[in-house]
Amino acid sequence: MVLTKERGTVEIQSCTVGEHLRCPAGTGGESWTRIVRLEVRDADTFIRLHFSNAESLDVTPHHIFTLADGSPIRAERLCLSDILIGRFGRITLKRIEAIGESSDSATAKKVTVSCEPSHQFFAGHHAATVLTHNYTFSS
């Protein structure tokens, strides 16, 4: 789930290029970042991350997050008790699950989003409360 300026809280796969996602502002507040590219692709391995704010996210192992100290980290390198940035304060990683999805499953899709000007936005299983990083297609 993500928070859009145009439609409120929606599933990320329903978003379209041009919509705006809730993101942190450089001054400590909140702002909006525009989706400039969005793709849905097959994926067969996911990591389910459970956080102290009762939120969770299913991501691919290479998905990038930002630790509370500002450093980027791939999901596969996260450890229990790592502290990340949440929409309403710091959150702690409480549980990590490896999930293998069958390639013919409707849930075996990853949504790849690229945003500008901010390359970060909030997402979550229930609400947009975990800071996550978008994908930079040029990298």
d(CA 79, CA 70): 16
The string of pLDDT tens digits covering residues 21-50 is 999 998 878 999 999 999 998 888 899 999
Element (H, E) at 57: strand 56-59
Pairing of strands 130-133, 120-123: antiparallel
Which positions ≥6 away from 99 have C-beta within 8 Å?
45, 46, 47, 48, 58
Tokens describing residue 100: 């293998």
92 has pLDDT over 60? yes
* pLDDT-derived band at 99, boundaries 50, 70, 90: confident
